[in-house]
Amino acid sequence: MKYTQVSLAALALLVALPLAAQDKQPPKMTAEQQAMMAAWEKAAAPGEPHKQLAAMAGQWNVKQTMWMDPKGEPMVQTGSATNTIALGGRHLRQDYRGEWMGQPFEGTGYTGYDNVTGKYYSTWVDSGSTGLFVARGDYDAATKTYTFKGEMADAAAGGKLVPIRDVLRVVDNDHHVFEMYETRDGKEARVMQLDYTRSSK
């Protein structure tokens, strides 16, 4: 079915619903429309991957370690994060507060699992950029590790895309570790590590 056909079918359903409500009768759908509805309901239903991510909801204290030079000494600061379950258990939202180069820093990200593609995803926006970072990946149950891959536009290099690999390892219910790696000139290096400890507050 082409996109225009899908749109027309969806529009027909929207028009039919108010009319059907007046007659207290459900709208009559074709077999094709019923199959479409079933596919979308399956795509929208939270499952085990979403419950697994929900275990990271809560308040967190964060140790932030960053390397400007992989061979140099890192900058170590502290921050805090609030993880909440969004949109009926479908997405994990993080609101982060900390510092960067002596200035206040804040960011918001979402992590979730796409039932349609069978992939996990991660998005991020923050006060240090006007861009949106998107990465997709998988989960390794043996090591309790999520691995995401994406690309970041480097402002210092005229927008050149830099390959990024993010690794999120769940230590236990009260601890997890996030690592970010960049690949430049064919060499991958860790540039950031965030150690999360659940807050007792």
Where do the domains of the chain lie? 3-44, 48-198
Contacts for 43 with CB less than 8 Å, ≥ 6 apart: 115, 116
Q: What is the pLDDT of residue 34?
A: 87
- Under CATH, which number does the domain 48-198 receive? 2.40.128.20
Q: Give the chain's residues under pLDDT 50.
A: 1-6, 8-9, 11-12, 19
Q: What is the pTM of this model?
A: 0.83
Q: What is the pLDDT of residue 10?
A: 53
Residue 31 to residue 20: CA distance in whole angstroms: 18
Q: What is the pLDDT of residue 69?
A: 86
* Token digits of residue 25: 């009768």
Q: What is the pLDDT of residue 49?
A: 97
